[in-house]
Amino acid sequence: MQVRIIGVGRVREPYLREGMRDYCARIRPYMRVEMRDIPEERIPDRMGERELEDLLAGEGARILAAVAGAGVRIACAVDGEPWSSEELAGRMKKWELSGQSRVAFIVGGPLGLAGAVTSAATHTLSLSRMTFPHQLARLLLLEQLYRACRINSGEAYHR
């Protein structure tokens, strides 16, 4: 299975980058993971609804280009479905067995995702009902992917 995580903006905090590297190394024996940063738009101090739509549309176009070729596209969004770790593992196993081996997870920037991105997504996933910085969401997602790999391989992982 090939998983691509597309995130808007660069992860700047060293502790988050280190955690992401650690989980990518842990995942490597199970699947291929690619991290791809999409340049974020500069957010003006004052922004009306039209400017917000234009900003999200620009990011959205770059995101949609980055997910081209992915059979399954999961947009991470506050209003998405709350999957358990076991549900994520089960879905990943199902996708792989059905030949959908290219999966893309999309993490928006501080302003969220364009409607075009969520509309093009196969699924919309909520990582939590709590609010987290968008950069931390990538680390949380990697941890859950690692957990899903361990579940699917029948290996122990804390519950």
Tokens of 121: 């997504």
pLDDT in tens, 97-151: 998 889 999 999 888 899 999 999 999 999 988 888 888 999 999 999 999 999 9
Complete domains list, the chain, with CATH: 2-152 (3.40.1280.10)
Q: Is the pLDDT of residue 72 over 80?
A: yes
pLDDT-derived band at 50, boundaries 50, 70, 90? confident
Angle 103-122-136 from CA coordinates, rounded to 5° = 60
Q: Is the pLDDT of residue 23 over 80?
A: yes
- For the chain, the average pLDDT equals 92
Alpha carbons 157 and 23: distance in angstroms, whole number = 14
Tokens of 80: 């998405």
**Overall average pLDDT of the 9-37 stretch:** 95
Alpha carbons 5 and 40: distance in angstroms, whole number = 15
Nearest to 108 by CA among 64, 153, 48, 46: 64
